[in-house]
């Protein structure tokens, strides 16, 4: 688990970013919520996230596939830019989660960004999921404490900074140079 505080003077923007990786006990999740199909499972999963987000002003909770995540800085940069987009009113989506995915994917097309980083039922079933929480106040630990029991998540060792040839080979353009050349930094 990583929690970092950021202050961006140019925008008087103070916020916290939490990154963790979890494995969902899908059998317990499905049994507890009496779910018998994939669509209902995803709806329930996203409803739980929405409910927690709505209880906390300006909170963003996003589960992501980490297949294309270079490292934690990739997430921190996307966290900055999605907030900057809302501050400057240049956001494409009205949903912070979607805007975050757009900057994470370095792509301004919602469908492509969701395809690259969004989660599907198979990810709940088989994958280690990366969780990013962005909040204007230091409530990330309490959000984790509220969220993990209701989605039956078990914290795992953070692997997003682990580098491999396969990971780099699969990556879209996400080097610092490429980010700068696209105007993202």
Residues 127-155 pLDDT 10s:
789 999 999 999 999 999 999 999 999 99
Q: What is the pLDDT of residue 15?
A: 95
pLDDT given for residue 114 in this prediction: 92
- Best CA proximity match to 19, nearest among 55, 68, 64: 64
User: In which domain, by residue range, is 39 found?
Assistant: 2-181
Quick one: which of 113, 18, 31 has its CA closest to 60? 18
Mean model confidence pLDDT for the chain: 88
Q: How far apart are CA 179 and CA 165, in angstroms?
A: 20
Sign of CA dihedral 87, 1, 63, 141: negative
Is residue 177 very low, low, confident or very high in pLDDT (cuts 50, 70, 90)?
Answer: very low
Q: How far apart (Å, rounded) are the C-alpha atoms in residues 55 and 99?
A: 20
pLDDT at 163: 65
Predicted confidence at residue 159, as pLDDT, reads 87
| Closest CA relative to residue 70, chosen from 120, 112, 104, 111 | 104
| pLDDT greater than 70 at residue 45 | yes
**What would the mean pLDDT of 5-22 be, rounded to a whole number?**
93
Residue located via tokens 């080097």 = 175
Measure the N-to-C terminal CA separation of the chain; round to a whole number of Å. Answer: 25
Give me the pLDDT at residue 70, please: 87
Confidence band of 170 (pLDDT split at 50, 70, 90): low
CATH classification of the domain holding 167: 3.30.2380.10
Q: How high is the pLDDT of residue 162?
A: 73
DSSP 185: -
Q: Taking residues 33-37, report their average pLDDT.
A: 95
Position 107 scores a pLDDT of 86
- Domain total of the chain: 1
Which long-range CB contacts under 8 A does 30-34 form with residues at least 24 apart?
Answer: 32/152
pLDDT at 181: 46
* Helix residue ranges per DSSP H, 35-164: 38-55, 72-87, 96-105, 110-117, 121-126, 140-151
Q: Give the mean model confidence (pLDDT) for residues 102-120.
A: 92
Q: What is the mean pLDDT of residues 78-95?
A: 94
């Amino acid at each position: 688990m990583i929690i970092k505080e950021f202050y961006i003077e140019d925008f008087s923007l103070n916020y916290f970013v939490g990154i963790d990786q979890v494995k969902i006990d899908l059998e317990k999740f499905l049994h507890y919520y009496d779910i018998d199909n994939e669509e209902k499972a995803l709806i329930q999963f996203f409803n739980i996230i929405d409910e927690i987000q709505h209880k906390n002003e300006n909170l963003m909770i996003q589960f992501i596939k980490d297949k294309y995540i270079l490292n934690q800085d990739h997430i921190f940069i996307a966290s900055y830019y999605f907030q900057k987009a809302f501050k400057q009113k240049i956001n494409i989506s009205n949903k912070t989660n979607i805007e975050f995915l757009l900057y994470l994917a370095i792509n301004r097309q919602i469908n492509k960004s969701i395809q690259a980083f969004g989660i599907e039922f198979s990810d709940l079933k088989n994958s280690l999921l990366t969780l990013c929480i962005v909040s204007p106040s230091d409530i990330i630990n309490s959000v984790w404490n509220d969220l993990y029991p209701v989605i039956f998540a078990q914290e795992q060792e953070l692997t997003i900074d682990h580098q491999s040839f396969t990971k780099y080979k699969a990556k879209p353009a996400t080097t610092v140079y490429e980010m700068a050349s696209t105007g993202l930094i």
